[in-house]
Structures are given as C-alpha cells and as structure tokens.
Amino acid sequence: GGCGGCGVGFPMQAGGCGAALPMQGFMQGLMGAGMPAGVASARDRTRSPAGGGGLSQQIAALRSNLQQGAFMAAMAPPPPPPRMGFGGPVGGCGGGCGGVVGGGAAEIGQFLMTSGIDDKARQALAGLDVAEQRIVAALVSRGGQCRNPSAVTWSRIKLVRERPDEARRDFLRVALDAEALAGLERLSPEEQAALIAQVDIASCRNISAFVWSKVKSRR
C-alpha cells in the first residue's frame, strides 16, 4: 500500500497521501515517546507530489505538543519531600546498642500515631531533642491507660526539662527487660549513674542488650 506518487511507501490515509506518518510512529508521538532526530530529519525531507509539507507539518505539530507538555510539567509544583520519622534521622550508637538508624525516631513516630495527644502537646514534644522525645513517649505509652494522654504528656515534658536525670532513670525502668534492670539495680549508685550516662537514648535500638553488656563487664 504505497501512495503511488511520492514513492515513500507509507500507508495511505483517507483523503489523500500527504506522506502521512506510519500509525505506530504517530501513536508513539502522541504518547510522548518522541522520535529519533535522524528519523525525523530524514522524513522531513519527504514531500508530497504537490509540494506540500504534510509530513513536516505533522512532525511540527507533534513537537509542539511535546514542548507544551514539557512546559506544563516544568510549571507544576515539585512533589513534597518524603516524610521521615519524627525527630529526623539519627545515627546508631554502636557498642551493643545495635547501631541501627532510627531507634528513638521509630518509637516516637509510633507514639504520635497511637497516643491521641492534641496539637499543643505535639508541638511541645517537638521542641525537645530526640532522646527527650523518646523518654516522654516511653513514659506516657508504657505508664498504663490514662483518660487524658495530652495532660500526661505535658507532665512528662516538664519532668524531662526540670529533672533530666530522674527522667532518664524512669525511662530505663520501663524500657529495660527484667534481667537488664535487675543487673543495673545491683550496681552501686555511682556505677548506675555512670552506666546510665553511657546509654544513647536517642538512637540505641536495643537498650536492654547494651545495659546488660555493661553490667557483665563490671563483674
């Protein structure tokens, strides 16, 4: 099915030759697949017997559509950045903690999704560093059921701000397993204070394993 006049051998279109694009190439153009520069250049030199520019006109129209689509895409607002765990990325603490990113951030994110605290409590929590946020989240979520989690969150935020050492000890009481907690309590007050200060609450994923390893090393 060539056109018989131009010698190109393209399929005939209804209404005349016009050296029309093959259907596959035409659909590729509509779908945004584009056309290789060499092919477009070679076909652009093909003219109809009447001297018209049917093929070049279609190519120009396709290019115009593609350029318009690219312009609209460029004008569209960029997508929002991916949401991260509450408190941002944190580094691993190593030394028996597990050394894995996101230990504290993961717990804080879970707390925010399940606690039901109000916006003011969330904003106050966001004003703390990651370690303090994790302490508050643990004390509220593991302190049993309460009717007003927002009020309890505020009280734990106040504890962290005003009595940070006490808050760290309270956190370890609810975060450690029975063996690690018993081992910690067998140490002298001075040894307990020194060990507690070594715990990287912000990022340590397995605090019980870390504390237990330190307890055994002191025997």
Considering only residues 99 and 196, tell me which one the structure prediction assigns the higher pLDDT. Answer: 196
Helix (H, G, I), strand (E, B) or coil at 183: helix
The pLDDT score that the predictor gives to residue 10 is: 40
Q: Give the amino acid at 4.
A: G
The pLDDT score that the predictor gives to residue 76 is: 57
Classify the C-alpha dihedral 102-103-105-111 as positive or negative. Answer: positive
Length of the chain: 219
How many other β-carbons are positioned within 10 Å of the β-carbon of residue 151?
13
Assign 97 a pLDDT band (cuts: 50, 70, 90).
low
pLDDT in tens, 47-95: 444 445 577 787 887 777 777 766 566 555 555 443 333 333 333 343 4
Contacts 24+ apart (CB under 8 A), 160-166: 160/128, 160/132, 160/135, 160/136, 161/128, 161/132, 164/132, 165/193, 165/196
What's the CA gap between 34 and 28, in Å, rounded? 7
| Summary count for the chain: helices (H), strands (E) | 11, 0
DSSP-assigned letter for residue 13: B
Assign 167 a pLDDT band (cuts: 50, 70, 90).
very high
DSSP-assigned letter for residue 176: S
Assign 171 a pLDDT band (cuts: 50, 70, 90).
very high
The pLDDT score that the predictor gives to residue 4 is: 44
**Largest Cα–Cα distance in the chain?**
103
What's the CA gap between 107 and 48, in Å, rounded? 71
- Answer whether 0.85 is exceeded by the pTM: no
How many other β-carbons are positioned within 10 Å of the β-carbon of residue 60?
12
The pLDDT score that the predictor gives to residue 161 is: 97
User: What are the domain boundaries of the chain?
Assistant: 1-78, 103-217
Tokens of 35: 């056309």
